[in-house]
Chains A and B, each alone.
Chain A
């Protein structure tokens, strides 16, 4: 499959601190990529640079054939990059349905009844149809996570970055979210998953990339990466 995302030599500094140094990564269209690494390794910084929440200091980011590293986040969303947030950020004053109508309007240009219908479809797939009229500030953790994914889906992405969507969820809830991600991938959406829950990463990813201290230290199949001594050292310490 063609490469849909190409990250080359990306560097990001915060003052004197180097969060990412010379990160290069290629993601194929339709791929399921797992991104792992200990806390502070730069995973969230990397996806912030990809999604446009941050601008990288050096290097290039090409999406779908275009250079996007100087584009704003909303421009990148319109090009097809969607993400969920580690700590869910619902539009609290809006209902679940209204939350989805924002990307539908601003990315898809759809509003009114057509938007409502499409939102309900997405919500049904996520198992949230019953909560459509609920104020998003009143959702449970797992419902919030699902809504994050639903809202990302409403932007009709080609690439979805899921940032620790399962953190803090119980066993069956993890399976629910995992199932949703598999279904989305089945529809042709490329998915980058950041997760700490190793079982989820192993079962979901076709390929895994491990970051540590702002650099990629290993790349390969889930078994290869997890079995790599450097990776184990990064997680467990010397």
Chain B
């Protein structure tokens, strides 16, 4: 284990970029689970699905980030459909095992997506090509891969845009409120179900763009969704359910921690970091940093 300030600094720098990326891929979950309280364990699977769709568009020559943008409305519609189905089947009817069924449903969905991807694309990794993938920016002694900068850029824009939307627009604020007080919303004339539907659609649409960023950062494989359950839930729980700004802070903490562990212990320990951090938060401070 070689330890030097330079290496540490580079790890932290990389961790910051990585952390913003983690925040971006967790945004959809922050809305779906943090705000709407839906047990959306299929979020990472849809993220990976978005990455693969980006790959498909990439084979026709479309730039990955552009592909992500094109996929966003498609995934929005997908999200609306999934929420509608979930609501009609589980939330509306209730019943003795509603909680178990909802969880099992999303788990099954995630599983079907993963196996579907394996059958369609095989277990090997798939990547995309773009001008900014493969080369690095050189700042003095440090080299920052351009693809990380691209991911960082998109992540920041996405996070800021979503946060502004949720706090400045009427529908955005309705989305923030619907998780806490449906009754008040109803009194204001808004339909909570349609708000939640819209929110879930947005969460899924954002996920498409996040998936594009995912495949820009590195090649993807179908099993990636399981790893990202750890990363996204870690970020959302660490941030505190319902806190959008916390997502960025939590992402940074995770990114930097993972980057340092990667530097000190190597790649085989890195996946356990997010899960370990998640368990730590659940044990010590389950409401997270900024939770309600």
Please report the C-alpha to C-alpha distance between residue A14 and residue B291 in the assembled complex, in whole angstroms.
10
**Chain A residues with Cβ under 8 A from B291's Cβ?**
15
* Residue A70 at the chain B interface, CB threshold 8 Å: no
Task: Give the complex CA separation of A92 and B96 in angstroms.
Answer: 6
Docked-complex contact B96 and A15, CB < 8 angstroms: no
Partner of A14 from B95, B96, B292 at Cβ < 8 Å: B292
Shortest Cβ distance from B95 into A: residue: A92
Across the interface, which residues of B come within 8 angstroms of A92, CB to CB? 95-96
- Are B96 and A93 in touch, CB under 8 angstroms? yes
Chain A's interface size range is: under 10
Chain A residue numbers with a CB within 8 Å of B95 are 92
Q: How many residues of B contact A (CB 8 A)?
A: 4
The answer for the CA separation of A15 and B291 in the assembled complex, in Å, is: 8
Q: How distant is the Cα of A14 from the Cα of B95 in the complex, in angstroms?
A: 30
Cα of A219 to Cα of B96 in the assembled complex, Å: 42
Residues of B within 8 A of A15 (CB): 291-292
CB distance from B290 to the nearest CB of A (A): 9
CB distance from A199 to the nearest CB of B (A): 25
Name the residue on B nearest A92 (C-beta): B96
Q: Which residues of B contact A14 (CB under 8 A)?
A: 292
Give chain B interface residues in 264-292, CB to chain A under 8 Å.
291-292
Per-position 1/0 for A125-140, Cβ under 8 A of B: 0000000000001000
The CA-CA distance from A14 to B180 in the complex, in Å, is 12
The majority secondary structure among interface residues of chain A is loop
Q: Which residue of chain B has its CB nearest to the CB of A91?
A: B96
Contacts of A137 in B (CB 8 A): 96
Q: How far is the CA of A137 from the CA of B93 in the complex (A)?
A: 12
In the complex, A92 Cα to B94 Cα: how many Å?
11
Instruction: Report the Cα distance A93→B291, complex, angstroms.
Output: 34
A39 to chain B: closest residue by CB: B183
Q: How far is the CA of A137 from the CA of B95 in the complex (A)?
A: 8
Nearest B-chain residue to A94, judged by Cβ: B96
Please report which residues of chain B, range 86-111, place their CB below 8 angstroms from some CB of chain A when the two chains form the complex.
95-96
The CA-CA distance from A92 to B292 in the complex, in Å, is: 30
What string of 1s and 0s marks CB contacts (under 8 Å) between A12-27 and chain B? 0011000000000000
Least Cβ distance of A54 to chain B in Å? 14
Chain B: minimal CB distance from A13 (Å): 11
Q: Which of A77-118 contact B (CB under 8 A)?
A: 92-93
**CA separation between A93 and B292, bound complex, in Å?**
32
Shortest distance from the beta carbon of B29 to any chain A beta carbon, whole Å: 21
CB distance from B169 to the nearest CB of A (A): 23
Find chain A residues with CB under 8 A from B96 CB.
92-93, 137
Chain B stretch 69-128: residues in CB contact (< 8 A) with chain A: 95-96
Q: For B94, give the chain A residue with the smallest CB separation.
A: A92
> Which single residue of chain A is at the shortest CB-CB distance from B97?
A93
Contact residues of A between 184 and 230, Cβ < 8 Å to B: none
Interchain nearest-CB distance for B176 vs A (Å): 14
Q: Which of A1-57 contact B (CB under 8 A)?
A: 14-15
Q: Which residue of A lies closest to B181 (CB)?
A: A40
Smallest distance from the beta carbon of B231 to chain A beta carbons, Å?
A: 26
A190 to B: closest C-beta gap in Å: 31
Q: Smallest distance from the beta carbon of A154 to chain B beta carbons, Å?
A: 21
Shortest CB–CB separation between residue A144 and chain B, in angstroms?
14
Q: For the complex, give the distance between the alpha carbons of A192 and B96 in Å.
A: 30
Separation of A68 and B96 alpha carbons in the complex (Å): 32
**What is the distance, in angstroms, from A77's C-beta to the closest C-beta of chain B?**
23
Tell me the minimal C-beta distance from A211 to chain B in angstroms.
Answer: 19
Residue in chain A with minimal CB distance to B98: A92
**Distance between B16 CB and nearest chain A CB, rounded to angstroms:** 28
Instruction: List A contacts of B292 (CB < 8 A).
Output: 14-15
Which residue of the partner chain A has the closest CB to B240? A15
Q: With A and B bound together, what is the CA distance between A15 and B292 in angstroms?
A: 5
Closest residue of chain B to A16 (Cβ to Cβ) is: B292
Give bound CA distance, A10 to B96, whole Å: 35
Max count, chain B CB within 10 A of own CB: residue among A14, A15, A93, A137: A15
7 inter-chain pairs at a CB distance below 8 angstroms, sorted by A residue, are A14-B292, A15-B291, A15-B292, A92-B95, A92-B96, A93-B96, A137-B96
Among all A-B residue pairs, the 7 with the closest Cβ atoms: A93-B96, A92-B96, A15-B292, A14-B292, A92-B95, A137-B96, A15-B291
Which residues of B pack against A, CB within 8 Å?
A: 95-96, 291-292
